[in-house]
Structure 1
């Protein structure tokens, strides 16, 4: 069975209609306009840490994803989570519960320690240069930076391991969630909290890792070791197969 057929079989088993790789979304109210001028990471670029502790940057050039190894020593004994803020900055939660920001100088990354006490953080995703989302103990918080100081705004509870598998920031006011039931939800800021728009009922069954690319693109690593790129087209989220061999990916950001 081909990889694409295998993936579509998962969707069909969930009673989703797949037509030319576009999946019909449930009827719902129109979501806010996308903030296409702001993104968590430039088009066609994301970070990966593999199980050997290597930090890689993946770039999409001429239709092909190509890795560049940026360093080693990023194993589970030192790094627990990462997320990109923009092209030149990413956040790391260390195994010791510290929060660090890493800045690319053109030849290497330089660390700036941001604080401690992040040992309970389960999920992390960047929204832009000065904002990110954190899931801790079932609660969702948005962190924003002003004057070099990070401030927390608590959003709400219900983000448990059984309800939320992964999240990926798309812009300052928009992120996607792979739910515990295999669904895909998109959340838009309403100025106080976030409003949910259910995009697919079971399209994300088997999701392991997510990383946002732009307001209209994100990537997914599934449990079966495949990389999928999702894109917003004709008013709905669709996907295409990128490649296999991603069982060795430990973290995306």
Structure 2
């Protein structure tokens, strides 16, 4: 009984049957592999599809973030630039204002200085001077007269005694004939003659040397002064013009 079963088992497991079983096993394995590969391909395909769908979204998100950050940086840079520009404009404005104030102050000082000069020149131009040279002239017109005339005084030249109505009377004894031989008595005589013709004027004696009679006469008239040289004579006459203008006020 056992021998018969073994025989049937051998028949059932013949070489052809083994070959068929091996082939079937191979086919099953191949199918399993194909199925696995299919699943893998499906997974990969799904992954690719997801990646294909997700990539634009991710890129768009990244692009938006990059744009936002770029805009933030640009806006920040613009804000900083505007702040710097505003600060620079403010500093420039302050510098300009200070410079304008300095220029205005300088211009104001110069204008005031020019106004004072003009006022002084106006005083000189409206001052009338009676220029008297007694006796014969050894130089005509005398140098002192030409200097006063060129300086702007209204100068009236005379060699004879007359009523002196000008603001300043000048007794010129420098250009007097034989001026080097003048004595104190001669100078006093000329002084007295001129003073009698004066009406509240300033008297300037232009004479070379020192004479006691001039110092005695300084109290009458009250406004008497002497000059010994051309430079001092011109300066004295200019100062006398301002005094005369002040006396009129």
TM-score, normalized by the shorter chain, greater than 0.5: no
More helix by percentage: 2
Higher relative contact order (CA 8 A, sep 6+): 1
- Higher-Rg structure is 2
More strand by percentage: 1
* TM-score with structure 2 setting the length: 0.21
